[in-house]
Amino acid sequence: GLPIASLASQCWNLDDVAEQYRQFSRNFGPLEKLLEEPPSPPEAFVVRVMLLHHWRRIVLHDPQLPGPMLPDNWPGHAARELCGRIYWKVFDASETHLAALAGQDNERFAPLAGDIAGRFGGRPA
């Protein structure tokens, strides 16, 4: 029989998804270093919006296969870790900006749902 990973690559275009993850890491990797200096709330908000916009475009094409079905050194793992680190670095400042913008006289603005804390494996300690 075929190994399950080679079967997966016949059913889904994993090469294309893998390249999207590698491109994400190339694009956002340098940004992580820049964020060693805390961004202002408006900058943090822009980073968060751009980060999640690019992340979602990839994830929507990813069949989200279980680990044993993925090729060795799957670049989605490193990209997800990078995304999570950047997300949590800008989270608080971006929330400050969002609350300042949307929280004024807006009855539809509500606090985030409790499950936010689990995103990207949870907020680092």
Task: Name which residue leads in pLDDT, 76 or 105.
Answer: 76
Predicted structure pTM score: 0.82
**What residues contact residue 101 under an 8 Å CB cut-off, 6+ apart?**
none
> Is residue 11 classed exposed, middle or buried when 0-12, 13-18 and 19+ CB atoms within 10 A define those classes?
exposed
Q: What is the mean pLDDT of residues 36-41?
A: 93
Whole-angstrom distance, CA of residue 102 vs CA of residue 88 = 21
Measured between alpha carbons, how far is 3 from 17 in angstroms, rounded to an integer? Answer: 20
pLDDT value of position 100: 86
Render pLDDT for 58-81 as a digit per residue (tens, 0 to 9).
Answer: 999 899 888 888 888 999 999 999
Mean pLDDT of 19-45: 96
